[in-house]
Amino acid sequence: MLISNPKLALLITEKIGKNWINNLEEIKQLERFIDDQNFCNNWSQIKYENKQDFAEYKQQTTGIVVNPNSLFDIQVKRLHEYKRQLLSVLHIITLYNRIKKNPDVDILHRTFIFGAKAAPGYYMAKLIIKLINAVGEIVNNDPDVRDRLKVVFVPNFSVSIGQRIYPAAELSEQISTAGKEASGTGNMKFSLNGALTVGTLDGANIEIREAVGADNFFLFGLTVAEVKALKSQGYNPEQYYTYNQELRQVIDCIASGYFSPGKPNLFQPIVESLLGKDEYMLLADYQSYLDCQERVNQAYRHPEYWTQMSIINSINMGKFSADRTISEYCQEIWNVESVTIDMEAYSQEAAGLQRYCQI
């Protein structure tokens, strides 16, 4: 936060002093300002300025114009089928289809931002990246959309690019199939910088939801037990395709080659994977995900409420500090005590060692 979100760090320091920098759990002191209108306004303004900064960066680097007044819906992480970036794509196409059906439909303005890299030999992951960009090409240039939806794929995602994205994020997509994510740390960075999470009960999402409270977390999808039970009963993804009209339209749209002009079969492997085995159960969670996103819409239309939820998420991330974790390991596992380091003496010793190495 100090490096990537200095404006927010300064606001926090102005309110509670500097001690939170060395003991992140002290950020919880901001709890008393949740109902302070001036503090909330400042918090909201900083988020908006961070969004403006990212929008300017994207326009300068890619030429894509991003509306900072839209909801920044972000999913940046390694591209893997279990992380289900594809589920977000199905949501985008659903919204696009609604606009095409009724160009005057009331849809919350959203900017969908993806950033990911795929393993060199991971064909399906690379094809999903191709689909994200293909959907963006159609959606971003359709006059019926009128800038209500924007799809952005950030190339060469890295730590330095992440430092631009996390402060601007408003909605953090942590939507892996329950039982597949070992932990996850990106969700912590998002929450610390004031983003709200839409996610399954998987990995660190579980602890984040416990920390911020169920009312400040957008939960959807099957649980681990429900995933196992459905698979043991014989999961049939075509059943969801058959009985959910919007889902069927989305998959048919991909299968028809609508997003791959001149190459109608380009994304056929994705369609066959979804209707065949659907290993990561996107179709089973599709409707729950849409319903959850509608709850996101309702919350975002009330800026004061959203800002308070943002603050609550941020100030409850202290428990995920690496300093706190190492301290706990020292006490409960390693049985060692902390050692005070004389930084002046250490600096002199390091300088002496450097001179010796040069000699």
Residue 133 included in any domain: yes
What pLDDT score does 306 carry? 98
CA 75 to mean position of chain CA atoms? 4
Judge if 349 and 212 occupy the same domain.
no
Judge if 274 and 351 occupy the same domain.
no
Strands ordered across the beta sheet of 149-154: 149-154, 110-115, 71-76, 171-174, 196-199, 218-219
Residue 324: burial class (beta carbons within 10 Å; 0-12, 13-18, 19+): middle
What pLDDT score does 264 carry? 93
Residue with tokens 């450097």: 354
The pTM assigned to this predicted structure is 0.92
Judge if 297 and 334 occupy the same domain.
no
What pLDDT score does 315 carry? 97
Give the structural domain span for 134.
6-319
Q: Count of domains in the chain?
A: 2
Q: Is the pLDDT of residue 77 over 70?
A: yes
Radius of gyration, CA atoms only, the chain: 23
Q: Is the pLDDT of residue 129 over 80?
A: yes
How far is it, in rounded angstroms, from Cα 51 to Cα 169?
Answer: 8
Residue 254 included in any domain: yes
Where is average pLDDT lowest: 41-50, 57-66, 233-242? 57-66
Where is average pLDDT lowest: 84-98, 225-239, 250-264, 312-326? 312-326
What tokens appear for 150 in the block? 């924007």
Where is average pLDDT lowest: 9-18, 73-82, 178-187? 178-187
Residue 1 included in any domain: no
> Binning pLDDT at 50, 70 and 90, where does residue 179 land?
very high
Strand duo 218-219 + 110-115: pairing? unpaired
What pLDDT score does 189 carry? 94
Rounded to 5°, the CA angle 220-75-104 comes to: 75
Higher pLDDT residue, 331 or 324? 331
Judge if 107 and 182 occupy the same domain.
yes
Judge if 221 and 265 occupy the same domain.
yes
Judge if 124 and 236 occupy the same domain.
yes
- In sequence order, what are the residues at sequence separation of 6 or more whose Cβ sits closer than 8 angstroms to the Cβ of residue 287? 240, 244, 247
What pLDDT score does 350 carry? 60
What tokens appear for 219 in the block? 């939960």
> Binning pLDDT at 50, 70 and 90, where does residue 349 land?
low
Judge if 224 and 350 occupy the same domain.
no
Judge if 309 and 338 occupy the same domain.
no
Question: Residues 278-289: what's their mean pLDDT?
Answer: 98
DSSP alpha helix (H) spans, the chain = 6-16, 37-62, 85-101, 123-140, 159-168, 186-192, 205-212, 224-233, 237-243, 245-255, 268-275, 282-300, 303-315, 322-329, 343-358
What spatial distance separates the first Cα and last Cα of the chain, rounded to whole Å? Answer: 40
What pLDDT score does 355 carry? 59
Supply the mean pLDDT for the chain: 93
Judge if 194 and 328 occupy the same domain.
no
How far is it, in rounded angstroms, from Cα 276 to Cα 246?
Answer: 19
Minimal CA–CA distance to 5: which of 38, 27, 32?
27
Judge if 233 and 339 occupy the same domain.
no
What pLDDT score does 145 carry? 96
Higher pLDDT residue, 270 or 185? 270
Q: Is the pLDDT of residue 359 over 60?
A: no
CATH of the domain at 266: 3.40.50.2000
Judge if 27 and 176 occupy the same domain.
yes
Q: Is the pLDDT of residue 357 over 60?
A: no
- 89-116 pLDDT per residue, tens: 999 999 999 999 999 999 999 999 999 9
Please check whether residue 190 is in contact with residue 168, taking contact to mean a CB–CB distance below 8 angstroms. no
- In sequence order, what are the residues at sequence separation of 6 or more whose Cβ sits closer than 8 angstroms to the Cβ of residue 107? 95, 98, 99, 148, 149
> Binning pLDDT at 50, 70 and 90, where does residue 201 land?
very high
Judge if 311 and 342 occupy the same domain.
no
Q: How many residues does the chain have?
A: 359
